[in-house]
Amino acid sequence: MSLISPADQQKLRDAFSEMTRPVRLLFFTQALGCETCPQTRQILDELPPLSDKISIEEVNFVLDADKATQYAVDRVPAIAVEYEEEGERRDTRIRFLGAPAGYEFVSLVRAVLLAGGGESMLSPEARTRLALVDKPVTMQVFTTPT
Amino acid sequence: MAFASPHITAYAVEATEYPDLARKYQVSGVPKTVVNDQVEIMGALPEGAFIEQALQFTSGN
């Protein structure tokens, strides 16, 4: 049974239909000691049925530690958003730590749409300013489900 | 912002699931944004505020 109402599913289907490239959600998980991993998986599983451009790739945090390091993931559950362009995998550098429930689900959907070729919410001026960034910057946004 | 710049990585962190991180950065209200472990931004500000903080870390600053 879906967590999303049929009306909302249709809204999401419509939004996702605008996507122009495939998006892969890498789900970093482990079998033991991750209380919210099943919930995260359940939330993620809602998405592929709504678009043939969305896929989930599960990565075992313990067995595939190299991949976790590659994506700068050091705890689970974690989701990395990437897309495919000209046959190559490209990282959006967007990460979700913790189950994307509540309002974070909206953020996840927005990230998927952005990765899928959607419009940025940033102004052109903002993007011009951002082009000046030349050193690594991490931005951790803390939220709660409500 | 992460999507727009190859140098920026953005993490959406669910604070109740990672109390150690919430404690480390003393998250008492959300949203709270921590930039490069050094700068804190409370609340949802206009995009400019976040961009200027990211720019604090460019060469020559």
The reported pTM is 0.93
What ipTM did this prediction achieve?
A: 0.91
In order of their start, the domains of chain B are: 1-61 (3.40.30.10)
| pLDDT greater than 90 at residue A3 | no
pLDDT in tens, A94-136: 999 999 988 899 999 999 999 999 989 899 999 999 999 999 9
Pick the residue of A36, A43, A130 with the most B CBs within 10 A to test the interface with B by mutation. Answer: A130
Q: What's the pLDDT tens digit per position in B1-15? A: 998 898 999 999 999
Nearest to A133 among B5, B33, B47 (CB): B5
Give the CATH number of domain A10-130. Answer: 3.40.30.10
Size of interface A-B (CB pairs under 8 A): 152
Measured CA angle at A99 (ends A39, B50), to 5 deg: 170
- Spans of all domains in chain A: 10-130
Q: How many angstroms separate the CA atoms of A114 and A85, rounded?
A: 13
Closest CA–CA distance from residue B8 to any residue of chain A (Å): 5
Q: Where are the beta strands (DSSP E) in B1-61?
A: 8-14, 32-35, 39-42
